[in-house]
A and B are shown apart, each in its own frame.
Chain A
């Protein structure tokens, strides 16, 4: 599992690349989402999250959460997340965002271990790189549609994995460089350790 420091670093990077949105918004598929890509599947599901009034910070009622949900769900999807703010009155706090993100990290950790059985033994940089990929690509795409990259990861060849780690647009060059850099750092560290 990731250490507390690694989790903190991962949350920071996810904030940079995925964005932290404290109000409900629609993702590209038209699903209600909040925080760092936390999917809300229903009104009941939304009511399990600690929303507060964006102006007063007072704890939101179930009815207020339903109002925000109903207002956002009827909007057009695939807009910038900030577009939906005007349809909401509630937000979630940073500690609630961290709580939801940590849950995601735990889920993705289990999935990463299913794809890469030796995941726990990988260098920290490799684990952070794989977390960034799975958060963005999901488990099924990463597992099924990245055969070259996965072959090199499983062979512990971090340099070759780095060379085959780029995602297509709209993933930015900066994000691809971040993941490649992590894997290259692991390759260099491993090389130094292996040198007698």
Chain B
């Protein structure tokens, strides 16, 4: 599952965490970059009615990645509200599709040793931490002393679901992390990764899917949040 590139380069590659094909009305296998191009205009398994809070009287019906209105996707919400989580999941995959299509082969990588194990929370930036409160999220990002995920949340358990796929239990919920793609997504020729965090809380209805782009610029360096 990779695009054809010069042999000296590391091709952009997608993994089982890339779930766009399964979210469509008709399952399309994403074996090549040409297959992925088709997914942009392919109908989802359902359609959503969405509203932009900036113009709440205007409703949109969306059923493909290409039909999502331009702007900040995170601000859009569905009618009914209960579909928001499923919409967030599908839009995360649309964003991943867009990155994969723009992705280039990289010439260097410092991410080969990234393993989804119990040490990952000590390596990934704090932004990956599931924080449900807007206030606490803001505080966290103003706090220069906090750098890593494990400094934000106590990780109480881990289930390894496979290579590049693990669920981390936290004090109050769980984060299911899954590798989506690798490649040069920001044009610096150094390999980046896309991964999702599917967040859920214990005994509550809150659930979210967030897509992250990370990179690493040297062997000894930290993993850096890009988008």
Contacts and interface: CB of A to CB of B under 8 A. Distances in A.
Nearest to B139: A148
Contacts of B198: 28, 78
A76 B24 CA distance: 13
A164 B80 contact: no
A141 B135 contact: no
Interface stretch (A1-9, A45-53, A58-66, A169-177): A169-177
Interface size class of B (residues with CB under 8 A): 35 or more
A170 B133 contact: no
Contacts of B219: none
A27 B46 contact: no
Question: Chain A binding site: helix, strand, loop or mixed by DSSP?
Answer: helix
B204 A170 contact: no
Contact of B136 (A37, A148, A173, A174): A148
Contact of B74 (A138, A143, A169, A174): A169
Interface string B202-227: 11111111000000000000000000
B3 interface: no
A102 B82 CA distance: 19
A190 interface: no
Contacts of B173: 138, 140-141
A27 B85 CA distance: 10
| Secondary structure dominating the interface of B | mixed
Nearest to B200: A29
B81 A138 contact: no
Given A79-B45, A167-B133, A172-B77, A141 B82 contact: no
A19 B80 contact: yes
Contact of A140 (B81, B86, B171): B171
Given A29-B200, A78-B85, A168-B131, A145 B206 contact: no
Interface string B47-90: 01000010010000000000000000011010011111111110
B32 interface: no
B172 interface: yes
Contacts of A140: 171-173, 201-203
A170 B48 CA distance: 14
B132 interface: yes
B132 A167 contact: yes
Given A136-B201, A168-B131, A170-B77, 8 more contacts: A16-B81, A28-B86, A78-B85, A141-B204, A145-B171, A145-B172, A168-B137, A170-B207
Interface of A: 16-19, 21, 27-29, 37, 76, 78-83, 134-149, 164, 166-175
